[in-house]
């Protein structure tokens, strides 16, 4: 949430900053801005604008940036203060000698602002961030590091910041608490960013800043210490595996479409090296030291947000199918504001694509503080959640840029399939059962390809319904969470109101909404509850509802009952979400495109929500 880029080196800073910002635009796109230390004058020039990055670039035509080798840039997802030109970052002190970009929330900003106003500071924006610029100014007596640390010691809340000082044009300072920052180094240059995708074009050597770290950065060197102490820490750089082509569109019109089509490959990557046919099980090396904690657990609690929460619900159904371990699923944002019952035999599994979601991270810390073993299912390698969990399973879906999550979801479900089989083999599953599951897993990527290449039907369904105002998504059993996920996808990118419901629960309320203008999308696969869901469909048809069914190939019944059918290949009931979600992703995508909307950057959303 909010994208930050900083640069210091010999090259033209503006082009590197703008390139980085574009790669981070998925994190927030309410407004954007840059501050440059001008090479000729050593003065700070700040240019910022509400709207997308292209609006900022447009402004450069009239408000020209100066030549510079040091600068910072930001793309914003508003928390405090509406998204307008003035609230856009960077924010500066009273004399434009200090400029900073910030990701996070300064919780005590009102108290600090009142204090600074009394001291004579003039504020221009409604943001919490501007307080930081003035607070650093307040403490600045010639030493930038001293001023930044003194200011950060007065601040409650979260931050990832990068700060420029016009009187020190050869350094930038970066600090992190709660909001991620990564520093990349290559010959004679350093790039600081809120995630590695803004760095990868320049170097694969990165340092992940830890909470409490403050970095004093020149073009060749980093001095790392903490907010509390000046003792030097080791600046440890690691190599990242992400490649540039992974984070580019590769010929697709949108990242979301590219990521939907990547799913056969991303799922192969999730399962690579983990299918153990010899023992009819899955091999999860990342959690092997904690596997006994899982098999001995009195309870597993899974916590997550958004799409990851839907994958978690499928995870619960899977684990409970193959083991006798009770599993609960909790919204991360609720988890720590009640009294979750945790014993030393409880295992908490936190699930996150980004590994940076603030609520999920807070739930992780709550679980840890109460003594639970905490495991992670994460996509982003080296993310905060990946680092703070005791152990975990990486989903290896590759970078996901589209705000609406697609391949990360199927990869998370795959991680749960593997985990449940590995656990199940210690509990209820025989070798033969395990082996047959493993063999079926191998078929899933090609079954997804089949669905992806048979999408003409989806186009015609979307043409019929893209102007509707409401949608109902219904499913039962393993496909109830898929109904939730399908509805979420449609809401997120097409702004159509959509509700996901357990199909049988419909008669307790949503049935009142049914008429010919309310499409009901029903997942009706040939599984153990097929007959029941047919009855639910008949209830809708009796009320003149328009029904689109997701059915298995070979189904002869549904075409005569419903208005439209999308066929998908058969698989085991427990694995069906991985296939049934694909048409729902495509429907959401197509409808949003037909409505002329910005699929990859839907309004008000952000890819990675790093504020509570
Ligand atoms: C945001 C994103 C969703 C995502 C959720 C959880 O709301 O827009 O796509 O599912 O955060 O994110 P995480 O990175 O923790 O999976």
| SS3 state at 390 | coil
Q: Say which residues have a Cβ less than 8 Å from residue 386's Cβ, sequence separation at least 6.
A: 355, 376, 378, 380, 392, 394
> In this predicted model, what pLDDT tens digit does every residue of 391-423 receive, in sequence order?
999 999 988 989 999 999 999 999 999 999 999
> In this predicted model, what pLDDT tens digit does every residue of 445-459 receive, in sequence order?
999 999 998 767 899
Look at residue 244 in the predicted model and tell me its pLDDT.
76
> In this predicted model, what pLDDT tens digit does every residue of 479-527 receive, in sequence order?
999 999 999 999 999 999 999 999 888 889 888 888 888 999 999 999 9
Look at residue 250 in the predicted model and tell me its pLDDT.
76
Rounded to the nearest angstrom, the distance between the alpha carbon of 306 and the centre of ligand 1 is 5
Ligand 1 in reach of 352 Cβ (< 6 A): yes
The best mutation among 307, 311, 386, 604 to test binding of ligand 1, ranked by most ligand atoms within 8 Å of the C-beta, falls on 307
DSSP 128-190: SHHHHHHHHHHH-SS-HHHHHHHHHHT--B-EEEEEEETT-TT-EEEEEEBS--EEEEETTEE
Rounded to the nearest angstrom, the distance between the alpha carbon of 307 and the centre of ligand 1 is 6
Buried b / exposed e across 386-407, counting CB within 10 Å, b at 16+? bebbbbbbbbbbbbbbbbbbbb
3-state SS string over 463-490? Answer: HHHCCCCEEEEEECHHHHHHHHHHHHHH
Look at residue 455 in the predicted model and tell me its pLDDT.
63
pTM of the entire structure?
Answer: 0.82
Ligand 1 in reach of 305 Cβ (< 6 A): yes
How far apart are the C-alpha atoms of 378 and 413, rounded to whole Å? 12
Paired with 36 in beta bridges are: 45, 71
Residue having the nearest C-alpha atom to atom 2 of ligand 1: 607
Decide the pairing of beta strands 346-352 and 299-304. Answer: parallel
Ligand 1 in reach of 87 Cβ (< 6 A): no
Rounded to the nearest angstrom, the distance between the alpha carbon of 355 and the centre of ligand 1 is 9
Decide whether 3-247 matches 255-452 in CATH topology. no
CATH architecture, range 255-452 = 3-Layer(aba) Sandwich (3.40)
For the chain, what are the domain ranges?
Answer: 3-247, 255-452, 456-594
Q: Which superfamily does CATH assign the domain made up of 456-594 to?
A: Glucose-6-phosphate isomerase like protein; domain 1 (3.40.50.10490)
Ligand 1 in reach of 360 Cβ (< 6 A): yes
How far apart are the C-alpha atoms of 376 and 348, rounded to whole Å? 8
Active site residues: 2, 607
How far apart are the C-alpha atoms of 437 and 457, rounded to whole Å? 30
How far apart are the two ends of the chain, measured CA to CA in Å?
A: 11
How far apart are the C-alpha atoms of 588 and 498, rounded to whole Å? 11
The best mutation among 304, 308, 361 to test binding of ligand 1, ranked by most ligand atoms within 8 Å of the C-beta, falls on 308
Ligand 1 in reach of 353 Cβ (< 6 A): yes
DSSP 95-110: TSSEEEEEES-BTTHH
Nearest-10 crossing angle of helices 431-452, 263-271:
160
Paired with 71 in beta bridges are: 7, 36
> In this predicted model, what pLDDT tens digit does every residue of 269-294 receive, in sequence order?
999 899 999 999 999 999 999 999 99
CATH architecture, range 3-247 = 4-Layer Sandwich (3.60)
Ligand 1 in reach of 605 Cβ (< 6 A): yes
The answer, yes or no, to whether residue 1 has pLDDT greater than 70, is no
């Amino acid at each position: 949430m909010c994208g930050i880029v900083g640069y210091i080196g010999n090259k033209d800073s503006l082009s590197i900053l703008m390139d980085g910002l574009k790669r981070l635009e998925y994190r927030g796109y309410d407004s954007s801005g840059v501050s440059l230390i001008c090479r000729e004058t050593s003065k700070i020039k700040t240019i910022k604008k509400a709207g997308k990055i292209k609006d900022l670039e447009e402004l450069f035509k009239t408000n020209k940036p100066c030549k510079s080798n040091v600068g910072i840039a930001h793309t914003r997802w508003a928390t405090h203060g509406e998204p307008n030109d003035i609230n856009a970052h960077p924010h500066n002190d009273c004399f434009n000698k200090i400029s900073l970009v910030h990701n996070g929330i300064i919780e005590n900003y009102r108290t600090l602002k009142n204090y600074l106003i009394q001291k004579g500071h003039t504020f221009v924006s409604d943001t919490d961030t501007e307080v930081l610029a003035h607070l650093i100014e307040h403490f600045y007596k010639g030493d930038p590091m001293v001023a930044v640390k003194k200011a950060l010691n007065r601040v409650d809340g979260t931050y990832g910041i990068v700060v420029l000082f016009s009187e020190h044009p050869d350094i930038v300072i970066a600090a992190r608490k709660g909001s991620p920052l990564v520093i990349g180094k290559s010959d004679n240059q350093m790039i600081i960013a809120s995630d590695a995708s803004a760095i990868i074009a320049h170097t694969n050597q990165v340092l992940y800043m830890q909470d409490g770290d403050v970095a004093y950065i020149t073009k060749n060197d980093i001095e790392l210490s903490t907010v509390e102490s000046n003792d030097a820490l080791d600046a440890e750089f690691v190599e990242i595996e992400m490649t540039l082509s992974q984070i580019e569109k590769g010929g697709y019109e949108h990242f979301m479409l590219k990521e939907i089509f990547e799913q056969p490959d991303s799922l192969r990557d999730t399962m690579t090296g983990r299918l153990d046919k010899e023992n009819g099980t899955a091999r999860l090396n990342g959690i092997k030291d904690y596997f006994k904690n899982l098999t001995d657990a009195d309870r597993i609690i899974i916590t997550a947000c958004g799409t990851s929460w839907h994958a978690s619900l499928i995870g619960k159904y899977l684990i409970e199918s193959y083991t006798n371990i009770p599993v609960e699923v909790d919204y991360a944002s609720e988890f720590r504001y009640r009294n979750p019952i945790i014993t030393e035999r409880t295992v908490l599994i936190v699930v996150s694509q980004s590994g940076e979601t603030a609520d999920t991270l807070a739930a992780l810390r709550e679980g840890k503080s109460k003594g639970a073993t905490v495991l992670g299912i994460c996509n982003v390698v080296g993310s905060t959640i990946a680092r703070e969990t005791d152990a975990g399973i990486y989903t290896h879906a590759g970078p996901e840029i589209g705000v609406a999550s697609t391949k990360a979801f199927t990869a998370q479900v795959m991680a749960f399939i593997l985990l449940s089989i590995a656990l199940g083999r210690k509990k209820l599953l025989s070798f033969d059962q395990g082996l047959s599951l493993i063999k079926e897993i191998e078929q899933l990527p090609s079954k997804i390809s089949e669905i992806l290449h048979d999408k003409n039907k989806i186009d015609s369904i979307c043409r019929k319904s893209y102007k509707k105002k409401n949608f109902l998504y219904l499913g039962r059993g393993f496909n109830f969470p898929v109904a939730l996920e399908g509805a979420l996808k449609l809401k997120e990118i097409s702004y159509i109101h959509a509700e996901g419901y357990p199909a049988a629960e419909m008669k307790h309320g949503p049935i009142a909404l049914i008429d010919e203008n309310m499409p009901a999308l029903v997942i009706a696969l040939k599984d153990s509850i097929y007959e029941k869901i047919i009855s639910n469909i008949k209830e809708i048809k009796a009320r003149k509802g328009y029904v689109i069914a997701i059915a298995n190939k070979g189904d002869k019944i549904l075409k005569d009952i419903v208005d439209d059918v999308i066929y998908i290949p058969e698989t085991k009931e427990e694995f069906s979400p991985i296939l049934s979600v694909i048409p729902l992703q495509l429907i959401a995508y197509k409808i949003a495109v037909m409505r002329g909307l910005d699929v990859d950057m839907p309004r008000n959303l952000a890819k990675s929500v790093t504020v509570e």
